[in-house]
A and B are shown apart, each in its own frame.
Chain A
């Protein structure tokens, strides 16, 4: 629809330049993985079979475990990210569904009361009693939460928050610098370990953190996808005496499948690539791929072929993710999800 051929040419040129800029590093890592050591250490080489003779040696070395454990981090990355993605997308979709179909009214004062009770209560318990930190937090949680819920039912003065505010509350977790909660979670996990519930460097500990990490994305994206599911279909099911849970599982979820796939891909990518939490919360058993990659740097020096193999293993699944989302983008599916 550009009528001006000059502009069209500039657009094409820009796309081609960007294509080169975007693709060159990927090309580089791909060919480097097949380079023999000499093709690296004697200066840059570019084209396989012309500049150098490609070899599979780096891959063989990696999977033979010659250069440290590769398989372990791959397995933990897959287990942790798939489990956390499934959990956060499922729970996030449930929450998003509630936010789309029901009305929530939360009194600001009840929320403030909850915050004051939690923080004040914890400081009191922590300084006056010899309670362990996790115990103190649990006590605070289980007192403050029911009180706040009860208060919310009273006729308190002050503003009332609605569904948009609840959604914002979920999404606002993303504004926090993760180092703030990463440290806090590290401290808490360490304390939990002391009372006999090991969470540091465990599957459960990582899955819980990443589920919480993925939930804001899941709630935000799924809310937009679910608003496009026609209400009438659900009403038809209600008239047919189908229960709410069944409507959600058997009618709403299938209708929102494209949205579920897109959201899962995005959450999966973020969990798969996450570095900071993994850096702080794992030490060995459950180290994920990004930690392995970061370690390559110091332990490998200029062994670029090995580093490239490691990078490719991390990139591989994400190529599939990008391809799926690219296809969805073409069909215009994602245009509905921004506001």
Chain B
């Protein structure tokens, strides 16, 4: 059953169209992450959902109720902003309890709910501090606390972790995820960081130029990207792509011949050229492997594994290999490619084949 529904919403600023008709539905209790490069329309979508922007056309429904023309405050949502958006002149306690106080909730109940949120977010020691005396992570916790005491139908997050340092970001994303699961509240989360999207989401919505490229759970997204854009966007380091010819059950990358898995060979037999995609981490041994020679231009030892950055048939390639793999710049190296993990895309439409 869909809890939050965007029905063919569009948005244009003057003559510039930011969102073509876009539809998305989110189930009750689901954690959906909108991800994409900057300018892809993910934040606009979230703001339309919040009511901070009005859709040019289309409908927004929350819990079956049409809220398209309803003020943000009356949509029963709570939002966490990128820059925390705390009230700088109020203490942590004041920040969390302010909305309830304005809406005439009794003193005792405010205290109870604020204390509960404080305990949940480990904010107890800071309740009487002003935001300027808190660290970034603490501020973000206050912002989350402010959202959750309202017991909303839906949580909206607008890149809440992008101002935190890397270590804190990892901690906070787990924390948010656990909190959401515990409360069972529907959540829509916007980020440009694909790792954040993959680790937190029940379902990831990859967007580009206002369009949804693919909406799926993280594993599907990784294993069966709907098109070249999604394949490139998800996974780090990014997938390698080669334009190749198909000839008698193998792909030809320049003079190198990589035999296809039987199923792929059958599926692609009628094609002349395809885009062949292989992730750097899939340069490994498997039941069906091929050999590929590349010319490393740079070698990046990362400890757990080593990245070879170089060229194969004049095209850029990144390979993830064992740290003990013998390779040196300028000397050709041959790596093993796990052909069971190969991806193929149409050179014209870039759709998955």
Contacts and interface: CB of A to CB of B under 8 A. Distances in A.
Nearest to B156: A239
B111 to A, nearest CB: 18
Interface in B61-101: 71-74, 77-79, 81-83, 85-89, 98-99
Contacts of B82: 232
A256 B79 CA distance: 24
A93 B114 CA distance: 33
B73 A238 contact: yes
Interface residues of A, number: 16
A246 interface: yes
Contacts of B79: 235-236, 239
B304 interface: no
B78 A240 contact: yes
B177 interface: no
A233 B89 contact: no
A251 B131 CA distance: 14
Nearest to A234: B85
Interface string B85-126: 111110000000011001100000000000000000000000
A236 B85 contact: yes
Contacts of A238: 51-52, 71-73
Contacts of A257: 89
Contacts of A237: 87, 99
B50 interface: yes
B73 A240 contact: yes
Nearest to A238: B72
Given A238-B71, A239-B72, A241-B103, A251 B87 contact: yes
Contacts of A232: 81-83, 85
A240 B150 CA distance: 8
A246 B50 contact: no
Interface string A166-196: 0000000000000000000000000000000
Given A240-B78, A242-B102, A235 B73 contact: no
B73 A241 contact: yes
- Tell me which of A238, A239, A251, A257 has the highest count of chain B C-beta atoms within 10 A of its own C-beta: A239
Nearest to B86: A233
- Tell me which of A232, A236, A237 has the highest count of chain B C-beta atoms within 10 A of its own C-beta: A236
A281 B285 CA distance: 96
Nearest to A257: B89
A254 interface: yes
Nearest to B77: A239
A230 interface: yes
Contacts of B98: 240, 242
Contacts of A235: 50, 52, 72, 79, 81, 85
Contact of B78 (A239, A242, A251, A254): A239
Contacts of B86: 233, 236
Contacts of B87: 233, 237, 251, 254-255
Contact of A233 (B52, B78, B85, B102): B85
A232 B156 CA distance: 14
A239 B52 contact: yes
A251 B94 CA distance: 12
B102 A246 contact: yes
A311 to B, nearest CB: 40
Contacts of A239: 50-52, 72-73, 77-79, 156
26 contacts: A230-B83, A232-B82, A233-B85, A233-B86, A233-B87, A235-B81, A236-B79, A236-B81, A236-B143, A237-B99, A239-B50, A239-B78, A239-B156, A240-B150, A241-B102, A242-B73, A242-B98, A242-B99, A242-B102, A246-B102, A251-B87, A254-B87, A254-B88, A254-B89, A255-B88, A255-B89
Interface of A: 230, 232-233, 235-242, 246, 251, 254-255, 257
Given A232-B81, A242-B73, A257-B89, 9 more contacts: A232-B82, A233-B88, A235-B85, A236-B79, A236-B86, A239-B77, A240-B99, A241-B103, A255-B88
